[in-house]
Structure 1
Amino acid sequence: MIKDYSKNYNDLTKLMGELGARIPSTIKGFNDLHKASISEGALTTKTKELIALGIAITVRCDGCIAFHVHDALISGASSEEIIETIGVAVMMGGGPALVYGCQAMEALGQFVVLES
């Protein structure tokens, strides 16, 4: 089940840039929504990234897992917080979330190694 989450993250970032050149209004709108949704408020950015990761696992989105594991780490989440988030996602999403939770754990291991 080995996937290269760093490559996935980088490839998707590039593709999103290319798509943004073709549909700039749509991508700008999405980016504005993302920025507003993830900014500090009653919840910290870290908490919001962990929520997004839990949702990514339950909806089974590989690219979303790559982005939100990466961004959770950047926002200050610890490996332990990410692992507990995976646990909550598994509780909410059952067997399929367990499989994608394992993939999120794999992504975590890859990103932690890259940041070391």
Structure 2
Amino acid sequence: MSTFDHSSLIQNINRQLGPLRKSQPEAMAGFGQLARASMAEGAVSAKHKELIALAIGITQRCSGCIGFHVKALQRLNCTRAELEEMLTVCVYMGGGPALMYTAEALAAWDQMAPTGAD
């Protein structure tokens, strides 16, 4: 499990990608448009899409993905119970390595949770 600060991690990722956004604006805008369109409310709710995205991030072992999607889930009023239930599916499908990143996702949740959140 990582011991880094996920809030700082996502800030650092955004900062590091700044020059790429400037040098490759069309490609980066295309990625942004794909993300917005994919994560928009539809037949599947935005919250459920974020849970799916976090599950993929966990099973692909992407710490940055964990940070970004945990933050998004908190904005969408996901509960810790919903998070934990999805995390058990990650462990079921991804085994021990997914369990290690599940611990990371829980740490990120606690670290980024607004005061008084569940």
1:107 match: 108
- 1:77 is aligned to 2:78: yes
TM-score, structure 1 length as denominator? 0.93
- 1:94 is aligned to 2:102: no
Q: CA deviation at 1:44?
A: 0.8
2:54 match: 53
Q: Secondary structure at the match of 2:20?
A: helix
Determine if contact 1:53/1:85 at 8 Å carries over to the other structure. Answer: no
Q: Secondary structure at the match of 1:110?
A: helix
CA distance in 2, matches of 1:9, 1:37: 20
Long gaps (5+) in structure 1 = none
By percentage of residues, which structure has more helix? 1
Deviations 1:11-57 (A, max 9, x none): 11222233211111111010000000000000111110000000100
CA distance in 2, matches of 1:85, 1:27: 30
Determine if contact 1:38/1:48 at 8 Å carries over to the other structure. Answer: yes
Deviates more, 1:13-22 or 1:45-54: 13-22
Percent identical residues: 40
CA distance in 2, matches of 1:35, 1:62: 21
TM-score, structure 2 length as denominator? 0.92
CA distance in 1, matches of 2:41, 2:100: 31
The residue type equivalent to 2:74 in the other structure is L
1:64 match: 65
